Amino acid sequence: MNKKNGIFNLILKNGLFLYCLLVALCAIGICFYNIFVGLMLLIVSVITFTVKLNEEKKALNETVKYYSSMADVNDKFDLTKGVTIAMISVGTDGKINWWNEAFDAICPTVTMHDGITEHMPAITMDLLSKMESGAECRIDHGDKCYLLTNVPFKAENISDSAFVITLKDITELEYYKKKASDIRTVIMHVLIDNYDELLTEEGDDVSYEAEKEIEALIFDWVKSLGGSVRHVEKGRYMCLFSSEKLDEIKSEKFDILEKAKTRGAGSVIEPTLSIGVGIGGEDINEIDVFAKTALDMALGRGGDQAVIKDGGDFSYYGGKNRETEKRTKVKVRVKALAMLGLIEESDNVIVMGHTNADADSFGASVALACIAMAHGKQAKVLLETYDTTVKALLKSFESNQTHIGLFVNRMQARELMRPKTLVIVCDTHRRSLVASPEILDEAQQVVLIDHHRRSEDFISNTDLLYHEPFASSSCEMVAEMLQYIGRGGINAEIAEAMYAGVLIDTNNFIYKTGVRTLEAAAYLKRLGADTLRVRKSFRESIENYSQRSGIVTGMQMYEGKFAIGTAYDEGIKQEVIAKAANDMLEIEDVVASFVLAPVDGVISVSCRSYGDVNVQLIAEKLGGGGHMLAGAAQLDCKDMDEALYLLKTAIDSVLSEK
């Protein structure tokens, strides 16, 4: 731009010359009447013209310097020589002050002082103002993807700040990144849950045909995913495929789980599958570890389901059917003998269940402690908080000299800890629920015995894990172990405590009662359990009975089939809540029951079902757990309306996943 021509154009554009000329002519005319006034007016017009001219010249200089600095930037980045990186200068008002040819290719209709968001809605002043100098971010524009960079730049001699940004086309790069992500390897382990039962319960011909049908189903399924499958061992398969197919499997909710049940080839036993999927590891070995962990989780939750482990996250599919009872007792014998070996190698034994111990936790704990003592080891049961059923059972223990000093509190248990102390945890696998997490952390040898469906908060540092989600109770599991390692010091009181644990967890042999459950109960009866005395220990006070009746009477129906009861008394006991949930389940048309009540500063939720709905899935969405027919959770809120909303939301969520 010619500087002199620029000034002349500014004078004409602003009308300054015409204004000053008019004032000068007026001044000359006035001189004929009053020369003094005319001269004064002429001087003022000249001064005004001079001042205004200087202002216009200064503004022109600023503009020239600004565009010169833009040219310097243009030269610095070499953007005017066909480089494909677009560059723009945007004022603090969001207006475009300058751009290069590459930006013209992106936005061909751009003109000076247009708003940047008019042409690229993804670029907002809020975005630019929050970006630090040199920062980058990804934006989308049409079918293109760009890397936006806030260039560290401030032009000299410019009073107002401006954003200078570059736009690099990374559409192709993002495409290949996505392709690379899509072809990440997924490892999947598939297990026929009841493979042994298919072989032992059916004839050879039927078993062979059933296995071949299921195997063909698995191979065809993986082949349709473009993957590879290998028969690892009897009833177990390892599959590999690309992650782009995983979304397809998720959308179909692992429908192979249901298809497998129809492939029995005349078999009486309904085949079921457990699937563990691993993805997101650093290498193949880690992905395989994820897949195996996911399969363990699926089996620990009862089988007949699929679990995906993506890095540290788990997701679950299926698991809406009852656990399949296993008939083989080989595993029981192996676990019993292994535990006995650990007991014999230890200096002493500490047994603990979960906080607020119930009959199952109590019965299994005292039985395990007596097994250790029968093999010459000092053994104690950590017991601090417990329900009214345990309180009734303790009365018989207090009258027996054999059990004096058997129970200790946390402080006493900590004092007994040694380098070779064996800690046995029973009736829970969740670290957050054990009677003393501190002792668990300090222990160098840990045995875990539990029957609840596996959750993510699983105790991992175990030397021996005996986890059977199909079992009715921990007392059933321990009773089976006794038959292989001897009854030891199990007397009538302990047998009754174990029988009480089985009775309560099965709700009088209604829930999860299989052949092995009845066999265990019969064995405990032979050990001296008095069933009438056990029933007497279950009797409750008139106050508890009234509270339970009030909950049932005031219950509400949700969706016409879910019974929900509430209690507002802060002093209500957990066992009252559980019994009320059992009672509500006996009402016609109720498929699942829930009771909410404040307990110890939180709202406790007790869930029950006869199997039409898996209440464990509902309890898990509330932060709890359990098994298909019984679950529990604790809501960290004091408002009952909020708790009811959370429960109904969890119910709706589980129903929508069917």
User: Per residue in 408-425, pLDDT tens?
Assistant: 999 999 999 999 999 999
- pLDDT score of 26 more than 70: no
Higher pLDDT pick, 502 / 17: 502
Residue 10 reports pLDDT greater than 50:
no
Nearest to 515 by CA among 273, 199, 201: 201
Q: pLDDT tens, 46-57?
A: 676 676 666 666
Separation CA 437–CA 292 (nearest Å): 27
Q: Is residue 323 part of a domain?
A: no
For residues 568 and 533, membership in a common domain is answered with no
Closest CA to 307 of 278, 269, 276, 279: 276
Which residues are CB-neighbours of 95 under 8 A, at least 6 positions away? Answer: 113, 114, 115, 116
**Other beta carbons less than 10 A from residue 144's beta carbon:** 14
What pLDDT score was predicted for residue 359?
93
Mean pLDDT of the 369-385 span:
93
Which pTM value belongs to this model?
0.60
Residue 446 near residue 463 (C-beta atoms within 8 A)? yes
| pLDDT tier, 152 (very low <50, low <70, confident <90, very high otherwise) | low
Amino acid symbol at 654: V
Domain annotation covers residue 121? yes
Residue 190 counted as domain residue: yes
CATH number at residue 242: 3.30.70.270
Angle at 260 between CA 254 and CA 263, to 5 degrees: 155
106 Cα distance to chain centroid: 42
Distance set, CA 427 to CA 355, 501, 524, 586 (Å): 10, 10, 18, 27
Helix intervals (H) in 570-621: 574-585, 615-621
Average pLDDT rounded to a whole number, residues 378-390: 91
How far apart CA 424 and CA 379 sit, in angstroms, is 10
* Rounded-to-integer distance, Cα 53 and Cα 604, Å: 83
Q: Quick check: 619 and 625 in contact, CB under 8 A?
A: yes
Cα 563 to Cα 575: distance, rounded to the nearest angstrom: 18
How far does CA 623 lie from the centroid of its chain?
10
pLDDT mean across residues, the chain: 82
416 in Cβ contact with 380 (< 8 Å): yes
Of 508, 510, 54, 177, the residue nearest 322 (C-alpha): 510
For residue 312, what is the DSSP state?
T
φ, ψ of residue 114 to 5 degrees: the values are -70, 155
d(CA 329, CA 347): 29
**Whether 279 and 383 share a structural domain:** no
Instruction: For residues 429 and 57, give the distance between their C-alpha atoms in angstroms, rounded to a whole number.
Output: 83
> Where residue 590 falls among pLDDT bands split at 50, 70, 90?
very high
Assigned token pair, 109:
């209709």
Same domain assignment for residues 390 and 508: yes
How is the chain split among helix, strand and coil, in percent rounded to 5? 50, 20, 30
Whether residues 381 and 528 fall in one domain: yes
413 located within any domain: yes
Statement: residue 309 has pLDDT above 50: yes
Using CB atoms within 10 A of its CB, is residue 385 exposed (0-12), middle (13-18) or buried (19+)? exposed
Q: Which residue has the tokens 């006869």?
A: 610
Q: Could you tell me if 143 and 107 lie in one domain?
A: yes
User: From start to end of 193-272, where are the E strands?
Assistant: 228-233, 236-242
Nearest to 207 by CA among 194, 191, 224, 223: 194
**Quick one: CA dihedral 517, 518, 523, 526, positive or negative?**
positive
Residues 194 and 305 grouped into a single domain: yes
Q: The domain spanning residue 638 has which CATH number? A: 3.10.310.30
Please tell me the predicted confidence (pLDDT) of residue 362.
96
Q: Both tokens of residue 619? A: 């309890």
Which of 3-12, 142-151, 351-360, 404-413 shows the lowest per-residue confidence on average (mean pLDDT)?
3-12
DSSP annotation string for 447-465? EEEE-SPP-SSB----SEE
The whole-angstrom separation of Cα 263 and Cα 164 is: 66
- Specify if 338 maps to a domain: yes
Q: Would you state the pLDDT for residue 627?
A: 76
How many structural domains is the chain composed of? 5
Q: Which residue has the higher pLDDT, 494 or 572?
A: 494
Higher pLDDT, 301 or 28: 301
Q: Identify the band that residue 41 occupies on the pLDDT scale cut at 50, 70 and 90.
A: low
- As a whole-number percent, the residues of the chain with pLDDT over 70 amount to 80
The token pair at 218 is: 């698995």
Q: Tokens 């920062």 sit at which residue? A: 135
User: Which of 473, 508, 537 is the last residue in one of the domains?
Assistant: 537
Q: What is the pLDDT of residues 311-367, one digit of tens each?
A: 878 888 886 655 555 545 778 888 999 999 999 999 999 999 999 899 999 999 999
In tens, the pLDDT along 76-125 reads 444 444 556 888 888 888 888 888 888 888 898 988 888 999 999 999 88
pLDDT tens, 424-459? Answer: 999 999 888 899 999 999 999 999 999 887 877 788
Q: Distance between CA atoms of 179 and 181, rounded to whole angstroms?
A: 5
Would 191 be classed as within a structural domain? yes
| Owner of token pair 């540290």 | 312
> What is the span of the domain harbouring residue 652?
543-656
- Quick check: is 325 in a domain? no
Same domain, 623 and 652: yes
Is residue 324 in a domain?
A: no
Residues 391 and 531 in one domain: yes
Last residue of a domain, one of 291, 318, 345: 318
Q: How confident is the model at residue 642 (pLDDT cuts 50, 70, 90)?
A: very high
Helix (H, G, I), strand (E, B) or coil at 302: coil
Q: 442 and 410 in contact (C-beta within 8 Å)?
A: no
Residues 584 and 527 in one domain: no
Instruction: Give the integer Cα–Cα distance in Å for 22 and 33.
Output: 18
- Identify whether residues 8 and 32 lie together within a single domain: yes
The more confidently predicted of residues 481 and 656 is 481
- Is there a contact between 339 and 466 (Cβ–Cβ < 8 Å)? yes
Q: How confident is the model at residue 281 (pLDDT cuts 50, 70, 90)?
A: confident
Q: pLDDT, tens digit, for every residue of 250-276? A: 888 898 988 888 765 455 667 889 999
CATH number for the domain including 137? 3.30.450.20
Selection from 315, 187, 330, 194 nearest residue 263 by Cα: 194
Q: What is the mean pLDDT of residues 220-245?
A: 89
Residues 365 and 341 in one domain: yes
Q: Which of 646, 599, 606, 612 is nearest to 626 (CA)?
A: 606
pLDDT of residue 440: 93
The answer to whether 20 and 43 have CB atoms below 8 angstroms apart is: no
Q: What is the pLDDT of residue 25?
A: 65
Last residue of a domain, one of 121, 146, 177: 177
> Does one domain contain both 17 and 42?
yes
